[in-house]
Structure 1
Amino acid sequence: MRRILQSASVFILSLVILTGCSKKEFNERYDRPETLADPIYQQLQQRGNFTSLLVCIEKAGYKDILSKAGFWTMFAPNDAAFAAYFKEKGISSAADIDAATAQKIVKYALVFNAFKTDRLPDFQSSAGWMPNTAFKRRTAYYDGPQPINYNGKDILYLNSNRNNRGSTTYFSVTDNNNKYVPYLLDRFLAPKNLTSADYNYFYNQNPYIGFNVADAQVVNSNIIAENGVIHEINRVILPLPNIDQYLAATPQYSKFKSLFDSYMVSYLISEAATAKNLENTGKQQDIYIKTYDAGLAYSPNNENYLKLDDNDGQMEGYSMFAPTNDALDAYIKNVLLEYYPSLDALPKDILFDFLNAHMFLTTVWPSKFATTTNGQGQGALFNSATDVVDKKLLSNGVFYGTNKVQNANVFSTVFGRAYLNPNYSLMTRALTASLKTNIINTSFKYTLFLTSDATIRALGFTYDLDANTWRYTPPGGGTALSGSSALDKLNRIINTQVVRSDEQSLGGNGILETYGGEYIRYSNNTVYSAGTRDAGVTLNVTGTRKAENGTVYFIDGLLSEPSLSVGKHLEALAAPAGSNYKKFVDYVKNSTIYNTSNGEILGITAGSFYTVLAPTNAAIDAAVAQGYLPASITPTDQPGKDKVANFIRYHIIQKATIVPDGKKDGGYLTLLQRSNGDPTSVTVTNVGVNNMQVKDMLGGSASVVPASSNNLSNRTVIHLLNTFLKFNAN
C-alpha cells in the first residue's frame, strides 16, 4: 500500500513539474470557487430565519445530504411559518417535533432537481420542454408499507402506483409512488384562462400572491445554493394526502368510500414488494398492493397520474366529486336501487358508470366545472358556490365534497329507464350496441318504446352469454338466425323503437319518424309499425316515465319490420270496397314493372326509403283523359306499357320518406328518368301537420289527402293525392 501511495505522490509531483504549475496555481484550478454559493443547509443557517427548519433537517437525517452536492428545489418554511405551526399543534418549539414528523416536513419540502421560477411551471416531455404547463413536482416523500385489517387479517400494504387501466400492470417495484406538491404561478394560470380565484377557492385564508405552494405563499424566491434552489414559504406543509387517503379519513363520505371498498378494491400479495421490504428492513413479511378495478377511470391511490413521461413534473391530476352520505343514500334508494333489492344485486357495469361519473381524468378547476368532461363526456354538474361543501387540493388531484350526486346521463336519460331496470336487460344490451351514445345526449330529445325481456324472448330473440351472440328463432317456425344476422334483424326493430323527438302524449292519432328513418303510428295509447300491422297486431302502452331528455313508453311487443313488400301493401289499400287507391293500384298490378308473385316494384330496392304518391280514382280518370295513361290497364302496345310505367315511377319519390308533419320539404328525385337518362323531381311543400303539397315538373300541384294517407310499408310511406302529377319523360 505504501509503495502505491509513494507512486501516486511521485506521479502528481511530476505532473505539477511537467505542466509548470505552482501549488497556488494548482489550487486555484481545482479548489471549490470562492464565488460558488453555499449548499442549502449552510444557506439556511446564514439567513438566520430558518432555525426551526434546521432542527427538523437534523432530526430527519438530512443535514449531511443538504450540506453537500446535489440538485434540489426546497420549499423552505421560515421561522414565522413554524411559529404558526407550533400554535396550531399546541407545541412550543421544534424540539417537540418527533423525528417521523420532521422527516415528513423535510422530505415533502424537497423537490427533485433544481428549479428557479423561470422553469418551475415547465413540463419536461420526451419532445422537450413544454413551457407553462406544469403545476406539480415530485418530492422526496413517499409512504412506506401501511397496516390494515383485511378480511380479518392484519396485513401490510403499499398503494398501487399505476392505474391498472386496460392492463394488469398496477404496480412497479422500482417506483416508490412519491408524493407530489402542487404550486401555482402566473405563468401557469394565464395560458389556461385560470385566475387567482381558482387558487383562492381552495385556500381563501392564505390567498394567491403570484407564487403559492399548496396553502403557502412564497415570500422569497430563487435563493441560489450550490446544490439547488430555495424558495422561502410562510407555512409549514405536511405531505398532502392523495384522493384515496382523504376519502378514507373523512367520515361524511364513508358510504361513497364503501362502494369502492366493497366492489372495486383488492389487496394482492406482491413477491417483488415483499422481497424489497425484506432487503430494506430485514423482516420477512408479505407485502400486499392495494389495487383498484381496471374498470375505473383511475386508481385514487396512484400518485403518478398517467405516467406518460418519466419526469418529475405533472401537467394534470385526477379529480373526484364525492357525495356526502345523505346525498348518496337518497340517490341509491330512489335511482340505483329502484328495481334492485340491494347493491350486491346491482350489475357491476352500473357501479362502474356511477363511480366513473364522479371521477375525472383531468384537473377540474373551480372555474371550469361545466367545460371539463369526464370519461362519459359530461362536465361536472355542480354549482361551485352552492353544491360543493368541501374542497381540497391533494397530492394526486383535486377533491370536491358535494351535497348531491353527479346525475350521470346513463341514468337520467331515456336510456336509464332501461338500464336501471333488470326487466329490460335485453333492450339495454341492444341499445348499448347501437344507440346508447346518441340517446344519452341531453342536448337532443327522444321518445323510447321499451319492451321487456320476457316479451322479447317470447318473440324469438335471446342473447347467448356463453357464445356472446344474439339468436333469433321465429315463434311460428321458420329459419333461425344467429350472430350478425340476428343482430341486424333486432337492430332494425330497436331503431324503430327510438323516435327523434319527445312525444309527451300518445292520446290522439299521429305518425312518428323513428331513429332508423322508418315511420310508426300511434292512436289512443296504442302504437304500431308496418310489421305489427302486417301481423294484425297493435301494441298497447302499458306505462310511461319521464326522463331528462324525453319520454319512455313501455309497450307489450316489438315494433317489428314488415313481412310484405310495398306492392302488397298497395294491394291491401286497394282491396276494400270503394277504395280510392283502386284505379292506381290496378295500373300498378298490371304494369311491366310489377312482380305479381311478391309485390315487388322494379326500381324499389331493399334498404332504401321511398314515398309513394297514389292519385285518387278521379285523378286517374283525369290522367287517362289527358293522355298521361292509356285507357286500358293492360295495354298491349309498347308505348302504352311505357306510359303506365313512367306514370307509376313519377309518383314514387326515392331515397326519402316524407309525411305531412311540417318537417321535410324541398326538391326530391323520383324513380322516373327521362329518355336521355336525366333524373326527374318533384317539389314538396310541407306547411304543417296534415298540410302537404307536391308540385310537379310542369308546374301543377297536388295535395296529400290526410285521412287516407300516412300508410306504412317497407321503409316506405304511402299517401293519397287529390290529383295526379304531370311530367314529360322526353
Structure 2
Amino acid sequence: MFSSTNRTSVFSRWPAFCLMPLLGLMLFASCKDDYPYDDKEPEWLGESVYKYLSEDGNYTTYLSLIDALGYAETLDRTGSKTIFPANDKAYEAYFQSLGLSGKASDVVKSMTKSQQQVLFNSTMLNMAYLDNMLANVPNTGQSDNSGEGIALVRASAASYLDSITFLDKDRLPATEYWADYASRGGIYLMDNTSRPNVIFTPDFMLRLGLTESDWTQLFPDKPYDEVGFYVNGSHVSGNQKNITCKNGYLHIADEVVRPLQNMADVMASHRQTSLFNQLMDKFSAPYYDEALHLSVQNYYGNAYASDTVFVKRYFNDNGVGACLQTPDKKDIPSTQMLYFDPSYNTMNMPTDMAMMLVPSNEAMENYWNSDRGKFLRSVYPTWNDVPMDVLSKFMKNHQLKSFVGSLPHEWSKLSDQKGFLLHLTPKDIEQSILACNGMVYLTNRVFPPIDYQCAYGPTLTSPITKVMKVAIDDNDWLKFHLYLRSLENQYNLLVPTDEAMKTYREPISWALWATEGVDKREIWSFKQIGEKIYADVYAVNEDGSQGAFKQTLGSSQADQNKIMNRLNDIIDMHIIVADNETEPLSGFIDEGNLQYALTKGGTILRVEGEGGATIVHGGGDDECGLPGANIEGGTDNIYFTENSHTFFIDKLLQDPFKSVYAVLKEKPEFDEFFSLLLGDPSVFAYFQEDKEVQAIFDQNTTEQSSGIGQIVTSFNNYRYTVLVPTNEAVRQAFSEDANLWTWNQISNEEDPALKKEKCLYLLNFLRYHFIDGIVPVAGNHFAKDYDTAARDKNNQFVKIRVEANGDQIRFGQTASVLTEDPSLYNILTRDYIVNNKDPQKATDILASSRAVIHLVDKAINYQQMGK
C-alpha cells in the first residue's frame, strides 16, 4: 500500500565530519591527507537548516521564531535536527484562526518567550530522521520484528518547562484537594512530562493495518496520503519531505505544526465536554514536586520566586504514570482510581498512545434522565453527587489504554478493559480530536460500565442495600458480580435491604434444631463497615424471635470466612435465571406467570402477585409460618437493567431447615414408605462391603464433614423431587408384585445371591421415587424425562416421564400428586453437609441438596412394568 525506501542517514555516514579536519591538524600536522572532505563539505550535503530557510525567502515568520529564541547559530552550524517548518502563508492563516491580526512575524515578536518556545519546539526533533526512519525504533532483539514501522509518538524539542499556567479560582475543580488554592485566588500548574509529537507515517500505517476508512474516521478533513505523512495533524506532502541539510533534515509542512494538547486539556477546553471533564477532575489533585520546583527556579530565575508551581495529577494505577497517593501521602482506594492519567504526556510512547470516549454534555444528560440512568437519578440529585467509588466505574469505562488496539475497523470487536463489548460504531462519534498522548472521541452517547448495565447495578447506588452491594461486588471470595455481568442471560435479582439483612436465621443452628432437636439457634444481623461485612449474633427466644446479644463476627479472618460462607448461600438463593427455556420454573417473577421459581442455588421460591405487588416466599419462611418478602416501595424499587429485573425486598428469604428425613418422619401419611426407606440395619451390615447396596439415609460422616442428621445418600448437591406413595399404595404395590420383598423377608433370606437380588430390587423400587430435578405443582404445562436414583443392569440411571397439566402432575404415567391437603405436597426440604464430623461444631455449609416432597396416589414399580 505504502512505498518505503531504505535510506541511510547522512549523519550516520558522516558522524564526525566537523571534527575530522581538526583531528588531522592535531595528529598529522606534518603529513598531507588525501581525503577530499577534510577540507570541504560534500556538494550534495546542502546548506545548513537556517541558511536554507533564509535563502528561500518564504519562511520569515519561522526564522523570526528561531531568532527570538536564540537558535539561529545552532541551526546554522551544529546539531542533528529534524525540522517541520511552515511558510509565511501558513503562519498567517494559523494566527488568523486564533484571532490574531497583523504581520505574522510581528505576532511572533509580540509573544512571550514561553509562547514562542511552545510554538517552536513542537516543530523540531533533536535527532535527524528521514521520513522512513520516523516510524522506526531500535530492535530490542526480543521479537522477530526489526523495529521498523512501529513508532507513532516521538519526543520533540518541547520541555515541560516551556509553559506554566495559572489556573484561577473559578476554574479550579470543586474538590477538597483544590479548595485551599481557591481561597488563594488560584494556582500555578505545569506538566511533569514533556509533550511529544504524534507522527502518522505510511510505514506506521502499513505495519499497523490502519486503513483508508480508518483514516477518514480519525481525520475526516485530512486527505489520506500514501507518500507524505502527518505531524500533529499537519500534512507533509511527498515532494516536501527529506530536504537534506548539513545539520539535519527539513520536512516542510502544509500548515503550522502546532503543539498538541494532552487528553486532559482537550476535555477541559472543549465546550461540549464540560460535564464529563468536571467528573474527571474529581479524581485529580495538585502535587508539589521539589525537584520540578527547583528546575522552575533555575530556568525562570526570579519569575516564580514567590510562587510554588504544582503538577496536576489524576489518581490511577497505570505503571510508570501511576498516582497512588493523595498529596498528603495517604493511599488512594482502588475503587477511586482511573485506568490512566489523561495528563500524563508520555503514556505508551513511542509505539502507542491511549484513547478516550468522551460523551458530550447532551449525551450525559440524556443517559441521566433515561430508564438506564434511573438507579443513579433516584438516589443522587446530580452527576456531581455520585460518590467516587460508583463514579470510578463509569469514568474508567471511557478509557482505553491502547489506540493501536482500538482502530475504527476493530470497533465491532472492541471491548472495555474488563472484556465486555462496547458496541462502538461510527455513528456514535461526533468529533475525533488528536492529543499528544491519545485520541479523544467526542461521542453522542455514554458507554456505561458493565456494572451499571447489569443486575447488581442498582445496588451500587442505593443507600438501603449497602450490605448486598459489598457482598455482590466482592472480588476475593464470592465474585457474584462476575456471574451477574453476563449480558447473554437474563436474571431476577432479589436484593434484601440492609434492614432485612438484620434478621438472618443462621441455617446450621436452625437445621440442628429442626432435625435433631438441638436448640442453639442464632439470628445474625449483618452490617457493612468499610469494605467488609460484619455480623452481630443473637440468641433466639423459644418463640423464634431475636434474643440476647452474644457476639460480633468479622474482626478475624476466620470470622470473615464464616460470614462469606453464609453470604454465598444467601445470594445463591436470591438469583433466579429468567431465560432458561428448558426449565419450567424460569421467568420474570413480576410478570405474574410463575407460582414457583428456581434459584441459582437450586432451591425454589413461592411467588404471589405481579408487578410492584409481587410477594416471594422462601421454604424456610413457610416452614416457620412467616410472611413472604414484599418489594420495598413497590414498583419504584423494580429496576430493569440490560440483563435483569432487580428487586429490593423487605425480608431476607430463607431456605428450609428440615431435611427430607425430618419431614417424612413427622407425617403419619408417609409412614409406610418412610419405614421402607429406613431399611434394615442387619441387611446393610451384611452387605457393608458391597458398594451396590447402600442405605437410603445416612449421616455420611467423615473426619472432616457430616450431614446434619440423616441425609439422602443418593443426593449430590443438587435439587430433587421425592414422591411418597400413600400408605395404601405402598401396601398395594407389595401385594401385586411377588418379587417385591419386605426388609424382614430379605433379612431372613439365607441364600446370599437371592438376598442381594431382592435387596437391590427393593432399593431400586424405592430409589425410583427420588427424581433428579425439582418439580413442584406450579401450574405449568410440560412433558419431560428426568433421571431417577434407580439404576438398570448397565448401571445407568433409569428415567421417568413427568407430565404437568396445570395443577396436576403425573409421574411415570402412573402416579399423580394428591393436592387435596396443601400440607402433603410442595413440601420443601434441605439436606445439609457441614465442615465437621460433629455438626454442632461446624462453622461452614459445605454442600446441600434441596428437594420437594409430594404425596402421590400410586407407588411406581417400574421393574414390574418392565416385565
In 2, Cα distance between equivalents of 1:349 and 1:76: 47
| 1:115-169, Cα deviation, whole Å (9 max, x unpaired) | 33434334557547444443322222244332224222256544565xxxxxxxx
In 2, Cα distance between equivalents of 1:712 and 1:62: 88
* SS, match of residue 407 in structure 1: coil
Residue in structure 1 matched with residue 648 of structure 2 by the alignment: 554
Equivalent residues of 2:786, 2:801 under 8 A apart: no
Is residue 151 of structure 2 the alignment partner of residue 151 of structure 1? no
Alpha carbons of structure 1 residues 33 and 321: separation in structure 2 relative to 1, 3 Å: same
Alpha carbons of structure 1 residues 14 and 486: separation in structure 2 relative to 1, 3 Å: closer
Equivalent residues of 2:232, 2:434 under 8 A apart: yes
| 1:204-255, Cα deviation, whole Å (9 max, x unpaired) | 3332223333332221233334444332221112211112112222333333
Give the CA deviation at 1:501.
1.6
Match 2:267 to one of 218, 239, 247 = 247
In 2, Cα distance between equivalents of 1:627 and 1:429: 61
- In structure 1, give the amino acid aligned to 2:151: A
In 2, Cα distance between equivalents of 1:406 and 1:119: 38
* SS, match of residue 489 in structure 2: coil
Match 2:618 to one of 522, 529, 533 = 529
Residue in structure 1 matched with residue 526 of structure 2 by the alignment: 462
- In structure 2, give the amino acid aligned to 1:64: E
Match 1:443 to one of 468, 479, 488 = 488
Moved more, 36-45 or 528-537: 36-45
Match 2:535 to one of 471, 474, 477 = 471
* SS, match of residue 426 in structure 2: coil
In 1, Cα distance between equivalents of 2:69 and 2:805: 82
| 1:406-429, Cα deviation, whole Å (9 max, x unpaired) | 333322332122222111111111
* SS, match of residue 484 in structure 1: helix
Equivalent residues of 2:603, 2:850 under 8 A apart: yes
Give the CA deviation at 1:379.
4.5
* SS, match of residue 70 in structure 1: coil
> TM-score, length-normalised on structure 2?
0.69
Give the CA deviation at 1:534.
2.8
Match 1:213 to one of 212, 221, 231 = 231
Equivalent residues of 2:721, 2:775 under 8 A apart: no
Residue in structure 2 matched with residue 140 of structure 1 by the alignment: 157
Equivalent residues of 2:828, 2:853 under 8 A apart: no
> TM-score, length-normalised on structure 1?
0.81
Residue in structure 2 matched with residue 373 of structure 1 by the alignment: 415
In 1, Cα distance between equivalents of 2:39 and 2:654: 91
In 2, Cα distance between equivalents of 1:10 and 1:564: 100
Equivalent residues of 2:152, 2:199 under 8 A apart: yes
- In structure 2, give the amino acid aligned to 1:297: Y
Residue in structure 2 matched with residue 717 of structure 1 by the alignment: 851
* SS, match of residue 252 in structure 1: coil
Alpha carbons of structure 1 residues 132 and 380: separation in structure 2 relative to 1, 3 Å: farther
The residue correspondences of 1:632-671 to structure 2 (distance < 5 A) are: 636-637=747-748, 639=755, 643-652=761-770, 668=787, 670=789
Moved more, 365-374 or 264-273: 365-374
Residue in structure 2 matched with residue 453 of structure 1 by the alignment: 498
Is residue 129 of structure 2 the alignment partner of residue 115 of structure 1? yes
Give the CA deviation at 1:537.
2.9
Residue in structure 2 matched with residue 410 of structure 1 by the alignment: 451
Equivalent residues of 1:122, 1:133 under 8 A apart: yes
In 1, Cα distance between equivalents of 2:415 and 2:183: 39
In 2, Cα distance between equivalents of 1:75 and 1:10: 33
In 1, Cα distance between equivalents of 2:221 and 2:789: 73
* SS, match of residue 289 in structure 1: strand
- In structure 1, give the amino acid aligned to 2:717: S
Equivalent residues of 1:710, 1:717 under 8 A apart: no
Alpha carbons of structure 1 residues 508 and 662: separation in structure 2 relative to 1, 3 Å: closer
Residue in structure 2 matched with residue 94 of structure 1 by the alignment: 105
Equivalent residues of 2:466, 2:528 under 8 A apart: no
In 1, Cα distance between equivalents of 2:269 and 2:395: 19
Alpha carbons of structure 1 residues 417 and 275: separation in structure 2 relative to 1, 3 Å: same
Give the CA deviation at 1:491.
1.1
Residue in structure 1 matched with residue 334 of structure 2 by the alignment: none
- In structure 2, give the amino acid aligned to 1:349: D
Give the CA deviation at 1:704.
7.3
Is residue 425 of structure 2 the alignment partner of residue 361 of structure 1? no
- Of all paired residues, the percent bearing the same amino acid is 19
Moved more, 113-122 or 414-423: 113-122
Residue in structure 1 matched with residue 713 of structure 2 by the alignment: 603
Is residue 308 of structure 2 the alignment partner of residue 286 of structure 1? yes
Moved more, 342-351 or 591-600: 591-600
Give the CA deviation at 1:299.
1.3
Give the CA deviation at 1:274.
1.8
- In structure 2, give the amino acid aligned to 1:41: Y
| 1:556-608, Cα deviation, whole Å (9 max, x unpaired) | 22222332222223446x55xxx5x5543332245553369965235256x71
Residue in structure 2 matched with residue 67 of structure 1 by the alignment: 76
In 1, Cα distance between equivalents of 2:729 and 2:264: 77
Match 1:199 to one of 215, 240, 256 = 215
Give the CA deviation at 1:508.
4.4
| 1:358-414, Cα deviation, whole Å (9 max, x unpaired) | 3232335455444333334444456533x4444311112122333443333322332
In 1, Cα distance between equivalents of 2:258 and 2:573: 60
Moved more, 26-35 or 500-509: 26-35
In 1, Cα distance between equivalents of 2:205 and 2:104: 37
Residue in structure 2 matched with residue 169 of structure 1 by the alignment: none
Is residue 323 of structure 2 the alignment partner of residue 303 of structure 1? no
Q: State the superposition RMSD in angstroms.
A: 4.0
Equivalent residues of 1:610, 1:716 under 8 A apart: yes
In 2, Cα distance between equivalents of 1:664 and 1:316: 58
The residue correspondences of 1:307-706 to structure 2 (distance < 5 A) are: 313-324=350-361, 327-328=364-365, 331=368, 334-340=374-380, 346-363=386-403, 364-380=406-422, 384-385=426-427, 387-433=428-474, 434-459=479-504, 460-463=524-527, 465=529, 468-471=532-535, 473-474=537-538, 476=540, 482-501=559-578, 503-504=587-588, 505=590, 507-524=592-609, 525-542=614-631, 543=634, 544-571=638-665, 574-575=667-668, 583-589=672-678, 592=681, 593=695, 594=697, 600-601=710-711, 603-604=713-714, 608-614=717-723, 616-617=725-726, 620-621=730-731, 623-624=733-734, 625-627=736-738, 629-631=740-742, 636-637=747-748, 639=755, 643-652=761-770, 668=787, 670=789, 679-683=795-799, 705=817
| 1:323-378, Cα deviation, whole Å (9 max, x unpaired) | 31673387189552412356676432112122223323233545544433333444
* SS, match of residue 391 in structure 1: strand
Equivalent residues of 2:49, 2:76 under 8 A apart: yes
Moved more, 220-229 or 477-486: 477-486
Structure 1 gap ranges (5+): 1-8, 162-176, 307-311, 696-700
Equivalent residues of 1:324, 1:402 under 8 A apart: no
- In structure 2, give the amino acid aligned to 1:518: T
- In structure 2, give the amino acid aligned to 1:539: G
In 2, Cα distance between equivalents of 1:77 and 1:96: 15
Equivalent residues of 1:471, 1:486 under 8 A apart: yes
In 1, Cα distance between equivalents of 2:535 and 2:745: 46
In 2, Cα distance between equivalents of 1:123 and 1:712: 69
Equivalent residues of 1:303, 1:395 under 8 A apart: yes
* SS, match of residue 220 in structure 2: coil
* SS, match of residue 490 in structure 1: helix
Equivalent residues of 1:659, 1:717 under 8 A apart: no
Give the CA deviation at 1:449.
0.8
In 1, Cα distance between equivalents of 2:818 and 2:268: 66
